[in-house]
C-alpha cells in the first residue's frame, strides 16, 4: 500500500449533502443490531471495511450481539479474528481465511457456509438467503451523484449496496484515488429478463465504474487511513519452481500440438504461494501476450506485466505483498489501462468462464489416485479456508489444473492419498494434477488409467510404492473405480493416531512447507 494521502477527506465526498453523514465508527456501528445480516466489502484481504467492524467488536464486549456476516471473500486487519473473539459472528459466508475464526468454526461455534463465490449474490438477489439489512463498503470516494467508488476489491460490494436498505461507507484515504475508473460494475438483471453478458475478452468493459445507489441510503460515512493488510505469500522455492516448470513444459507441448496458441487462453490462478509461484513461472516461458481472467491479482500479475508477458488482467481484487503494493500503487497509472476489477459474480461467472475458455490453476490440499481433490478439509473434518471460486472455475473451464506439493509436514503427510477425505472437486473436473515430482495429464483417461498416471508422475517415494500396493489390492476387488473401502482412509487415521501417514518410520523424506501454506485455495 502507498502512504496515506493527506488530501482533504471532504473532497472525496463529492455530493456535499452527504458530508453531514460523516460520523465515528462507533456511532456508525450502532446501526447494526442483534440478529441482522450484514454485507461487508472485502475480498482476499483487500478493500475490506476496517473501522466499523472493529467498533462492532468493541461494542460487543459490553453489549453482546450476533450477526450473520457475508463478505466477498477473506478479510484483513484481523477483522474476522476480532469479531470472533467478541462473539459477534453467529453465521459467516461465503469464505474466510482467519485462524481464530477457523478454530471457532471447527468447534461448531460459528455456522460457516462455504459457498461457490459466484453464487452468494445470486442467492441474495433471489431471496434464497435472508436479506442484507445493512451494507458496509470501503470506498475511495463518493461521486457527485452519491455513487460509491470501491477501492482495491469489488467482490460482492455492489450487490450488497444495491440490495441493502442502509449503507455505511468507509472512505479510506490510504487508498489511491488513481483507482477511480478501474472498476467495471455489471449487475445481471432479474430472471426471466436476464440477457447474455456481452463480455468477449478479459479486457471488455460491460458496466459502470461506480456502484450506483440512491444517496439517501447512505446512513453513515466513516473516514479512515487504515491500510489493506498485505499478502503473506512465501517466495517461490525449489518445489514451487519445479511445479511451475512442469506446467510450462506441459503448455509448450500443448502449443506444439496446436491445441493452444503461444498466448494460451485467459489464465485464472487461485490465491496463495503455489498459484503465485506458478504464475511467476510464466516469466521465463516462451509464451507471450498472456491474459488473466481471475479472482485475485497477486504479485505475479504485476511481475508478468513488468516482464512484458501479460497484456491484460481482469480480477475482483488486488492483493499484494507489502513491498510490491508500495510499488504498484505508487505507479498505478502505469498499469491501469491493462487492469479491470469486477464483481465476483462476473469474474467467476460460468457463462464467461466457458466462453473465454479459462485455464484454471488452483491448489489442492490433497488429491487421490483417481484425481479427486480436497481443497478445504484437514483429515476430512477440520476446515482450513473454503472452496472459494475454485469450483466455479474448475467445472466450467477449458482446462482445470490442480497443483500441490507432494508432501507436507516433513513428509509425514502425502498429499496424494488412496481416497481424499473430503471432495471439493471430483474426477470429472480435474484435468491436470501437478506436484514437484511431475504432471499427470488426466484428460480422456478412465479411473484405472488416472491412478497409474498420478502414481507414476505425481507421488514421491515411499508413498508411490504404498499407493501402488493399494491400487493392486483394490483392483483385485474390481470396479470402475477400485477401492478397498475399509482401508481408504487408513492413511488419515494412521496420521491422526501416530502423527505420520507412513506405516513405519522412513528416511529420505524431503522437508516441505507447513500444511497451512499448502492449503491456500482460490480466494
Q: Considering Cα of 250, then 251, then 257, then 260, what sign does the dihedral take?
A: positive
Pairing of strands 37-40, 67-70: parallel
462 binds a second copy (CB under 8 A): no
Of 355 and 456, which has the nearer Cβ to a second copy?
Answer: 355
CA pair distance 16, 365, nearest whole angstrom:
50
CA torsion sign, 35 to 39 to 42 to 43?
positive
65-124: which residues touch a second copy (CB under 8 A)?
A: 91, 93, 105-108, 111-116, 122-123
- By CB under 8 A, what part of segment 363-382 binds a second copy? 372, 377, 379-382
> Closest distance between a second copy and the C-beta of residue 97, in Å?
14
92 touches 68 (CB < 8 A): yes
Number of chain positions touching a second copy (CB under 8 A): 83
Q: Is 396 in the site for a second copy (CB under 8 A)?
A: yes
- Taking the complex as a whole, the smallest distance from the CB of residue 457 to a second copy amounts, in Å, to 18
- Residue closer to a second copy by CB (options 223, 397) is 397
Tell me which residues in 127-156 interact with a second copy (CB under 8 A): 127-130
Residue from 170, 295, 345, 436 carrying the catalytic annotation: 295
The enclosing H or E element of 453 equals helix 447-458
Q: Which stretch binds a second copy (CB under 8 A): 52-60, 172-180, 460-468, 485-493?
A: 485-493
| Burial status of residue 485 (CB atoms within 10 A of its CB: 0-12, 13-18, 19 or more) | exposed
Nearest residue (CB) to a second copy, 89 versus 244: 89
Q: How far apart are CA 111 and CA 113, in angstroms?
A: 7
Contact set for a second copy, span 154-213 (CB under 8 A): 191-192, 194-198, 200-201
What is the rounded CA–CA span in Å between residue 472 and residue 469? 5
Q: Does 456 bind a second copy (CB under 8 A)?
A: no
445 binds a second copy (CB under 8 A): yes
User: Does 485 participate in binding a second copy (rule CB under 8 A)?
Assistant: yes
E strand intervals along 294-363? 296-297, 310-315, 317-318, 339-341, 359-363
Residue closer to a second copy, measured from CB, 4 or 357 = 357
Contact 119, 97 (CB under 8 A): no
Give the nearest distance from C-beta 327 to a second copy in angstroms: 31
For residue 444, the minimal CB distance to a second copy (Å) is 5
Residue 342 interacting with a second copy (CB under 8 A) = no
Of these, 62, 258, 505, 507, which contacts a second copy (CB under 8 A)?
A: 258
Told to check if 255 binds a second copy by CB under 8 A, we report no
Give, to the nearest 10 degrees, the angle between helix 273-280 and helix 238-256: 50
Q: Applying CB under 8 A, does 351 fall inside the site for a second copy?
A: yes
299-306 and 322-330 helices, crossing angle to 10°? 50
* Grid cell locating 483: 477401492
Whichever of 485 and 507 has its CB closer to a second copy, that residue is: 485
Residue 220's SS3 state is: strand
Does 336 interact with a second copy (rule: CB under 8 A)? no
Q: Which of 221, 223, 387, 471 binds a second copy (CB under 8 A)?
A: 387
Of 125-133, 140-148, 332-340, 499-507, the window that binds a second copy (rule: CB under 8 A) is 125-133
Convert 16-67 into a string of H (helix), E (strand) and C (coil): HHHHHHECCHHHHHCCCCCCCEEEECCECCECCCCCHHHHHHHHHHHCCCCE
Fill in the per-residue mask, 424 to 443: x = in contact with a second copy (CB under 8 A), - = not in contact: x-x-xx-x-----------x
Q: Which is nearer to a second copy, 142 or 369 (CB)?
A: 369
Dist CA 468 CA 285 (whole Å): 34
- Nearest approach in angstroms of CB 140 to a second copy is 31
Figure out which of the listed residues 474, 501, 509, 523 binds a second copy, where binding follows CB under 8 A: 474
Give min distance, CB of 29 to a second copy, in A: 25
252 catalytic residue (yes or no) = no
Asked whether the beta carbons of 106 and 382 are under 8 A apart, the reply is yes
Catalytic residues: 295
Amino acid at each position: 500500500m502507498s502512504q496515506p494521502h493527506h488530501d482533504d477527506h471532504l473532497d472525496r465526498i463529492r455530493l456535499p449533502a452527504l458530508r453531514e453523514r460523516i460520523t465515528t465508527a462507533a456511532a456508525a456501528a450502532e446501526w447494526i443490531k442483534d440478529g441482522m445480516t450484514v454485507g461487508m466489502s472485502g475480498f482476499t484481504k483487500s478493500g475490506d471495511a476496517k473501522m466499523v467492524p472493529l467498533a462492532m467488536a468493541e461494542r460487543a464486549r459490553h453489549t453482546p450481539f450476533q450477526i450473520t456476516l457475508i463478505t466477498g471473500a477473506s478479510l484483513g486487519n484481523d477483522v474476522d479474528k476480532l469479531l470472533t473473539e467478541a462473539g459477534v459472528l453467529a453465521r459467516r459466508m461465503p469464505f474466510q481465511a482467519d485462524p481464530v475464526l477457523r478454530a471457532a468454526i471447527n468447534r461448531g461455534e460459528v455456522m460457516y457456509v462455504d459457498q461457490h463465490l459466484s453464487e452468494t449474490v445470486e442467492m441474495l438477489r433471489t431471496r434464497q438467503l435472508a436479506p442484507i439489512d445493512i451494507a458496509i463498503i470501503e470506498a475511495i470516494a463518493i461521486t457527485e451523484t452519491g455513487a460509491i467508488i470501491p477501492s482495491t476489491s469489488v467482490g460482492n460490494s455492489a450487490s450488497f449496496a444495491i440490495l441493502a436498505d442502509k449503507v455505511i461507507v468507509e472512505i479510506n484515504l490510504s487508498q489511491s484515488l488513481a483507482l477511480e475508473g478501474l472498476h467495471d460494475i455489471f449487475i445481471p438483471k432479474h430472471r426471466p429478463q436476464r440477457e447474455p453478458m456481452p463480455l468477449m475478452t478479459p479486457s471488455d468493459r460491460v458496466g459502470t465504474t461506480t456502484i450506483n445507489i440512491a444517496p439517501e441510503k447512505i446512513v453513515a460515512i466513516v473516514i479512515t487511513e487504515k491500510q489493506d493488510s498485505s499478502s503473506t505469500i512465501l517466495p517461490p522455492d525449489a518445489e514451487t519452481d519445479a511445479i511451475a516448470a512442469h506446467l510450462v513444459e506441459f503448455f509448450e507441448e500443448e502449443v506444439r500440438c496446436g491445441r493452444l496458441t503461444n498466448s494460451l487462453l485467459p489464465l485464472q490462478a487461485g490465491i496463495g504461494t503455489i498459484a503465485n509461484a506458478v504464475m511467476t513461472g510464466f516469466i521465463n516461458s516462451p509464451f507471450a501476450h498472456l491474459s488473466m481472467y481471475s479472482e485475485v491479482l497477486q504479485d505475479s500479475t504485476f511481475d508478468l506485466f513488468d516482464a512484458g508477458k501479460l497484456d491484460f488482467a481482469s480480477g475482483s481484487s488486488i492483493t499484494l505483498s507489502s513491498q510490491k503494493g508500495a510499488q504498484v500503487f505508487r505507479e498505478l497509472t502505469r498499469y491501469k489501462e491493462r487492469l479491470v476489477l469486477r464483481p465476483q459474480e462476473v469474474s467467476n461467472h460460468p457463462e464467461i468462464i466457458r466462453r473465454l475458455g479459462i485455464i484454471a490453476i488452483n491448489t489442492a490440499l490433497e488429491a487421490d489416485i483417481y484425481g479427486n481433490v480436497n481443497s478445504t478439509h484437514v483429515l476430512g473434518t477440520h476446515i482450513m479456508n473454503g472452496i472459494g471460486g475454485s469450483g466455479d472455475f474448475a467445472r466450467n473451464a477449458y482446462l482445470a489444473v490442480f497443483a500441490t506439493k507432494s508432501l507436507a509436514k516433513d513428509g509425514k503427510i502425502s498429499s496424494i492419498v488412496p481416497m481424499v477425505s473430503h471432495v471439493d472437486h471430483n474426477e470429472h473436473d480435474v484435468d491436470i494434477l501437478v506436484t514437484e515430482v511431475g504432471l499427470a495429464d488426466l484428460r480422456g483417461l478412465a479411473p484405472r488409467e488416472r491412478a497409474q498416471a498420478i502414481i507414476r508422475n505425481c507421488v514421491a517415494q515411499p508413498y508411490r510404492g504404498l499407493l501402488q500396493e493399494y491400487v493392486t489390492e483394490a483392483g483385485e476387488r474390481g470396479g470402475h473405480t477400485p477401492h478397498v473401502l475399509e482401508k481408504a482412509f487408513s492413511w488419515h487415521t494412521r496420521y491422526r493416531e501416530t502423527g505420520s501417514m507412513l506405516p513405519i518410520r522412513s528416511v529420505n523424506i524431503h522437508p516441505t512447507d507447513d500444511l497451512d501454506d499448502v492449503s491456500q485455495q482460490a480466494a
